[in-house]
Amino acid sequence: MDVQVRNVAGEAVGTMALDDRVFGIEPNLAVLHQAVVAHLANQRQGTADTKTRGEVAGGGKKPYRQKGTGRARQGSIRAPHYRGGGVVFGPHPRSYHQALPRKMRRLALRSALSDKVATGSLSVVDHFELADGRTKTMLGTLATLGLTGRTIIVLPAADGVVRQAAGNLEDVRIVLPGGLSLLDIMRADVVMFCQDAVPEVTRLLLGEPAGAPVAA
């Protein structure tokens, strides 16, 4: 499919063919769901911990004698039914990691990008360069391009000036082709690619080796 290419002034300067295998597939909702669940699970630290009755300090002495008090027999004031006692079936440190096959991760990203194209939320610029690293300059450029809300800008290579200009903007993320995040794409209102970044993203999401020609 062909998309319009603009410059930073918002003027149309041509068109670019996007690979339908990456930007034009039918989104796989099942894989998208599984990938999001795995992504969120892998962000969990798994450090929550509670103490069992064997770990709580104190309670080594029998609180009162076994018989003759008219009360239920007790062996420790650190039993779970006592205030300050151990916790039954509470959380303990564990790993929440979920492994997701590489092909499924790539399919999830292709599905998310295809959805952005289908909804008109993906745009392409020929070059994204700023005169300086001021936040005001970045905001003016985004306004000229008509980009509002949560925005992802995909650059072909690291650019310190652009990253500095976006540093104070919570809703603007600057990423490289290898740093695309599924959750960020799904949350974004618009994804903007630099023209030179599209072939590299296409190559990565198709699993082709570096230097291999990418079919249009």
Q: pLDDT tens digits for 2-45?
A: 899 999 888 889 999 999 999 999 999 999 999 999 999 999 99
CA distances from 188 to 116, 142, 170, 207, 208 (A): 9, 14, 12, 24, 27
Say what the pLDDT of residue 215 is: 53
Say what the pLDDT of residue 213 is: 58
For 133-153, write each residue's pLDDT tens digit: 999 999 999 999 999 899 999
Q: What CA–CA distance (Å, rounded) separates 196 from 128?
A: 10
Q: What CA–CA distance (Å, rounded) separates 78 from 100?
A: 42
Q: What CA–CA distance (Å, rounded) separates 98 from 100?
A: 6
Q: What CA–CA distance (Å, rounded) separates 148 from 132?
A: 21
Average pLDDT over residues 117-129: 92
Task: Using DSSP, state whether 183 is helix, strand or coil.
Answer: helix
Q: Residue 80: phi, psi to the nearest 5?
A: -55, -30
Q: What CA–CA distance (Å, rounded) separates 193 from 22?
A: 14
- Provide the whole-model pTM: 0.84
Beta strand segments in 28-159, E: 122-125, 151-154
CB burial string 56-66: b at 16+ within 10 A, e below: beebeeeeeee
Say what the pLDDT of residue 214 is: 54
